[in-house]
Amino acid sequence: MVRDIENIQHSFSTENDGNISKKQTFLTYGEQDKFAYYLLKLVASLVIILLLGMIAMLLNSSLSAIEEFGIGFALNDNWNPVEDEFGALAFLFGTLVTSALAILIAAPLSISVAVFINEILPTKLGKLISLFVEMIAAIPSIVFGLWGIFFLGPFVKDVLTPFLKSNFGFLPLFQGASFGIGILTASIILAIMITPTITSICREVLKTVPKIQKEAALALGATRFEMIKIALIKPSFSGLTGGVVLGLGRALGETMAVAMVIGNSPTITASLFSPAATMASVIANEYAEADSDLHLSAMCYIGLLLFLVTFIVNSFARAIVWKKQRKARG
């Protein structure tokens, strides 16, 4: 570092002196620029190469399953390792349902928390609370899983299920036996896990709303609630949506905690109390001990599908955010 500075100073002084400069410095300014440019270019393209490499690897290892099952793989719900018959529909279902339910719980919660921290709490207290919220993101997912097994599962079984059954028992969603392990428990765990992600993005989005806009709303006689609704939530709606979709992206890929509480049964049912399985959880569960090549390949195929689903969700989020930015620029 110090040498660099000396070098620069040196080249400064010699540059002014004229022709000897090139001999004494290692690189000229132009060369330095070029060097940095190519270095950064290399690093940036490495990221893309890494991504493409991962896709290529996944494609390559799922090739035999793609040949065997084709596109129908995603629409077939039979997963039988003993007979070497594989289909991903049940896992696709489990992944999409748990993630959607998690978003349904986490989105209103996170946006409310963000508004509460930004607008209602005093700054210092808000910072403290947001620190706690962000700390949730630092909890390892296996700890969430254990908590799910030992606390949330029994809670769902003994408290939540009787409540839901007695109030909404007429819906097919809340019928059937509940053992505390299944779609509902997994979704609640997921919701808690993605709350910090969504909250912090929403806070950033809400911060961009100009103060003058909020004050204007208040000056026009709006109550605090109306101000939040009209001047805060409405203009930043697409940004908030982007944050929620990014949370969804995380929920789709979450593995360990879900695998521990979802019941790992690749079935498609209407009841939220019944067990299911997700794409990520089946890979984590069965990969280590799979001994048939087709089984391994089928799991890579599931990985590829999961990649595709997350990719679509993330592009969707990006599109929303970009659209919003373009609008903001006018």
Partner 1 sequence: MKSLFSLILVLLMATNTYAVTKVNGAGATFPYPMYSKWFSEYNKNNKDVQFNYQSIGSGGGIRQLIKQTVDFGASDAPMKERDMKKAAWPVKHIPTVLGAVSVAYNLEVDSNLNLDGETLSAIFLGDISKWNDGRIQKLNPSVKLPNKDILVVRRADGSGTTSIFSDYLSTVSTKWESKVGRGKSLKWPVGIGSKGNEGVTATVKQTEGSIGYVELAYALKNNLPTVALKNKAGEFQKPSVKGVSLSAASLKKDAKVTASIVDAAGKGVYPISAFTYILLPVKEETVQLKEVKKFLQWALTKGQDMTEELHYAPLPTSLAAKMLEEIK
Stretch that binds partner 1, among 35-43, 167-175, 177-185, 199-207 (CB under 8 A): 177-185
- Is-contact 103 248, C-beta < 8 A? yes
Alpha carbon distance 229, 301 (integer Å) = 45
- Is-contact 317 245, C-beta < 8 A? yes
CA of residue 1 relative to chain centroid, distance: 38
Which of 94, 153, 196, 243 forms a contact with partner 1 (CB under 8 A)? 153
Which of 14, 241, 285, 314 forms a contact with partner 1 (CB under 8 A)? 285
Q: Which residues contact 39 (CB under 8 A, 6 or more apart)?
A: none
Q: Least Å distance between CB 233 and partner 1?
A: 40
Stretch that binds partner 1, among 56-64, 93-101, 151-159, 224-232 (CB under 8 A): 151-159
Alpha carbon distance 302, 181 (integer Å) = 23
Q: Least Å distance between CB 80 and partner 1?
A: 4
Tokens of 34: 């070029």
Alpha carbon distance 84, 296 (integer Å) = 10
Size of the site for partner 1 (CB under 8 A): 33
Looking at the Cβ atoms of 91 and 106, the one nearer to partner 1 is: 91
CA atoms within 13 A on the CB side of 211: 1
Q: What is the CA radius of gyration of the chain?
A: 26
Give me the 227-266 binding string for partner 1, x by CB under 8 A, dash otherwise. Answer: --------------------------------xx--xxx-
Stretch that binds partner 1, among 7-15, 60-68, 74-82, 201-209 (CB under 8 A): 74-82
Position 189 contacts partner 1 (CB under 8 A):
no
Which of 29, 35, 38, 150 forms a contact with partner 1 (CB under 8 A)? 150
Q: Which residue in the block uniquely carries the two structure tokens 């190519």?
A: 38
Position 286 contacts partner 1 (CB under 8 A):
yes
- Is-contact 209 232, C-beta < 8 A? yes
The SS3 assignment for 5 reads helix
Position 204 contacts partner 1 (CB under 8 A):
no
End-to-end CA distance of the chain: 44
Stretch that binds partner 1, among 19-27, 162-170, 237-245, 273-281 (CB under 8 A): 273-281
Q: Which residues bind partner 1 (CB under 8 A)?
A: 78-83, 149-150, 153-154, 157, 177, 179-182, 259-260, 263-265, 275, 277, 281, 284-291, 295
